[in-house]
């Protein structure tokens, strides 16, 4: 990776500044889980490690987009999705490298203290220098992607693009030969060569109606991981990056779920259903849920907005058959979501995902429970918070009695986070 990021074909300055998100806790958790065999580093993705990487690249995308409010929700979600895929393979690569240091030269398991010491070079690169390089590149590429979306919208007025000279202190010679090239937005040259296709590039494009110049001959190939146009496909990094497998046959996620490797499958990591499955099977939640009501686009149903609260439902959550137990379960959950949304909470009703929480409430993972009795409530609350990865439990009590308040006092003393109301008094939401 050093050769790719900082080698002779790169002009990436070495930035040792920390990234915006501190991953130290996620790294320590991953080390303990790999050492104690709570996770298979070769076929699974560590949730905290994945989430830390994905959040870092989502922040980079947001910084790169800046004030480009005209970007569609669908495009933003494509970028978020691509960040998740890249983060999954980055986490997997890091896990493999870490696991390779578990044993000593005699094949015996090292002490945990020695193991931690021996993998410092891996964590310092993957979560330090390399991550900073990837973050800075993601910021630049997100900015270029937002520009490209604008170029496409405005090409009837400004039909051409000019290659703007680099702002780098020491610009690279290859791109210098392309400065001030002017070609139509749809010219095939831009599919093979563009600013941002080499590590460290600080060039940019601008829309213009100036006359077209001769199409140049570019004597280079785009760098691995940067050979796509993020403004078209929404991917800040392409699947030619070394974190990705060379082909489907060598993909650990495909091999885990199939008895035989594919013989004619075309590699397309960004749209691979096996990546989706591995994320969910390891209880890694798919990120990219917008915060603002108006940003929910394709795949979401905007139900209503009341003041600060709203209800949005993932379209695949609604059962196709409007009868039976699944339909009844959906209606119960939907009604509870609506009650919390009417009370000012931001409710996102998610698709059915085995073993995971039902909704997001004000951006936090939450599970829903409607109950007449408190007999099994302890088990349900513990299951939701421990196993289903919820941070909140949202409860509708059908009856108000001393047993309910006794349970609520218990949960408060235990530090459990509960939002609740009583049937018939849905406007009054209580918090412990």
DSSP letter string, 40-96 = -TTT---HHHHHHHHHHHHHHHHHHHTT-TTS-HHHHHHHHHHHHHHHHHHHHHHHH
DSSP state of 145: H
What confidence tier does 329 reach under pLDDT thresholds 50, 70, 90?
Answer: very high
| Token couple for 99 | 């696991």
| Token couple for 253 | 């996620």
Q: Are 82 and 244 in contact (CB under 8 A)?
A: no
DSSP state of 265: P
pLDDT surpassing 80 at residue 68: no
End-to-end CA distance of the chain: 48
What's the pLDDT at 200? 87
pLDDT surpassing 70 at residue 289: no
Rounded mean pLDDT, 353-374: 90
Rounded mean pLDDT, 27-39: 94
Query: With pLDDT > 70 as the criterion, what percentage of the chain qualifies?
Result: 92
What's the pLDDT at 288? 56
What's the pLDDT at 8? 74
Q: State which of 79-83, 184-188, 271-275 shows the largest mean pLDDT.
A: 184-188
Residue, of 308 and 229, whose pLDDT is higher: 229
Burial class (CB in 10 A: 0-12, 13-18, 19+), 189: middle
Q: Which helix (H) or strand (E) holds 300?
A: strand 300-306
What CA–CA distance (Å, rounded) separates 199 from 224?
9
pLDDT surpassing 60 at residue 204: yes
What CA–CA distance (Å, rounded) separates 404 from 422?
10
Rounded mean pLDDT, 1-20: 76
Q: Which helix (H) or strand (E) holds 304?
A: strand 300-306
- For residue 65, the Cα-to-chain-centroid distance in whole angstroms is 16
Q: Are 336 and 349 in contact (CB under 8 A)?
A: no
Residue 325 phi, psi (nearest 5): -65, -40
Model-wide pTM > 0.85: no
Pairing of strands 300-306, 364-371: unpaired
Closest CA to 192 of 159, 216, 156, 212: 216
Q: What is the 3-state composition of the chain as percent helix, strand, coil, each rounded to the nearest 5?
A: 45, 15, 45
What CA–CA distance (Å, rounded) separates 272 from 275?
6
| Token couple for 326 | 């699944």
Rounded mean pLDDT, 321-341: 92
Listed in order, the ranges of the chain carrying CATH 3.40.1350.120 are 300-431
What's the pLDDT at 90? 97
- b/e code 8-42 from CB counts within 10 Å (16+ = b): ebbbbeeeeeebebebeebbebbbebbbeeebebe
Mean of the per-residue pLDDT values of the chain: 88
Residue 367 phi, psi (nearest 5): -120, 150
Strand partners, 314: 300
What CA–CA distance (Å, rounded) separates 265 from 254?
11
Report pLDDT digits (tens) over 189-203: 998 899 999 998 889
Q: Which residues lie closer than 8 Å to 248 by C-beta, 6 or more apart?
A: 254, 261, 262, 265, 266, 267
pLDDT surpassing 90 at residue 20: no
Report pLDDT digits (tens) over 239-255: 999 999 998 888 888 75
Q: Which residues lie closer than 8 Å to 71 by C-beta, 6 or more apart?
A: 65, 146, 149
What confidence tier does 308 reach under pLDDT thresholds 50, 70, 90?
Answer: confident
| Helices 130-154 and 73-99, packing angle to 10 deg | 160
What confidence tier does 256 reach under pLDDT thresholds 50, 70, 90?
Answer: low
CB atoms within 10 A of CB 303: 16
pLDDT surpassing 60 at residue 263: no
- The radius of gyration of the chain's CA atoms, rounded to the nearest angstrom, is 25
pLDDT surpassing 70 at residue 219: yes
Query: With pLDDT > 90 as the criterion, what percentage of the chain qualifies?
Result: 58
Distances (CA, A) of 279 to 43, 81, 132, 282: 11, 12, 24, 6
Rounded mean pLDDT, 393-397: 97
Report pLDDT digits (tens) over 105-158: 999 999 999 999 999 999 999 999 999 999 999 999 999 999 999 999 999 999
User: What's the fold here for domain 300-431?
Assistant: Trna Endonuclease; Chain: A, domain 1 (3.40.1350)
């Amino acid at each position: 990776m050093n050769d790719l990021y900082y080698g002779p074909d790169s002009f990436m300055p070495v930035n040792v500044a920390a990234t915006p998100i501190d991953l130290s806790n996620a790294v320590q958790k991953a080390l303990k889980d790999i050492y104690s065999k709570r996770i298979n580093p070769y076929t699974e993705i560590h949730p905290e490690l994945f989430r830390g990487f994905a959040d870092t690249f989502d922040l980079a995308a947001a910084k790169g987009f800046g004030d480009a409010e005209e970007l569609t929700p669908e495009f933003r979600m494509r970028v978020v999705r691509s960040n998740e895929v890249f983060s999954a393979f980055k986490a997997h690569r890091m896990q493999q490298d870490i696991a390779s240091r578990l044993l000593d030269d005699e094949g015996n398991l090292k002490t945990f203290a020695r193991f931690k010491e021996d993998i410092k070079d891996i964590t310092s690169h993957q979560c330090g220098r390399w991550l900073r390089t990837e973050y800075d590149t993601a910021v630049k590429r997100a900015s270029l992607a937002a520009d490209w979306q604008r170029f496409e919208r405005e090409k009837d007025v400004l039909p051409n693009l000019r290659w703007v000279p680099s702002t780098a202190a020491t610009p690279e010679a290859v791109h210098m030969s392309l400065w001030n090239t002017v070609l139509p937005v749809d010219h095939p040259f831009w599919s093979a060569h563009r600013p941002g296709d080499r590590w460290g590039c600080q060039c940019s494009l601008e829309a213009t109606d100036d006359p077209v110049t001769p199409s140049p001959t570019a004597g280079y190939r785009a760098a691995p991981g940067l050979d796509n146009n993020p403004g078209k496909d929404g991917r800040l990094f392409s699947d030619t990056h070394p974190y990705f497998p060379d082909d489907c046959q060598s993909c650990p996620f495909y091999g885990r779920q199939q008895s035989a490797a594919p013989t004619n499958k075309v590699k397309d990591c960004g749209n691979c259903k096996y990546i989706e499955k591995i994320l969910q099977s390891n209880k890694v939640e798919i990120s990219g849920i917008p915060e603002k009501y108006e940003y929910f686009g394709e795949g979401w149903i905007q139900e209503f907005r009341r003041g600060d609260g709203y209800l949005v439902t993932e379209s695949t959550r609604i059962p196709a058959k409007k009868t039976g137990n699944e339909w009844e379960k959906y209606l119960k959950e939907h009604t509870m979501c609506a009650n919390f949304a009417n009370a000012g909470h931001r409710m996102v009703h998610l698709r059915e995902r085995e073993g995971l929480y039902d909704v997001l409430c004000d951006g936090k993972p939450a599970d829903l429970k409607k109950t007449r009795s408190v007999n099994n409530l302890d088990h349900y609350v513990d299951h939701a918070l421990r196993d289903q990865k919820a941070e909140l439990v949202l409860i509708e009590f059908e009856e108000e009695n001393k047993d309910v308040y006794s349970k609520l006092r218990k949960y408060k003393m235990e530090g459990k986070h509960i939002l609740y109301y009583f049937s018939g008094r849905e406007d009054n939401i209580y918090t412990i």
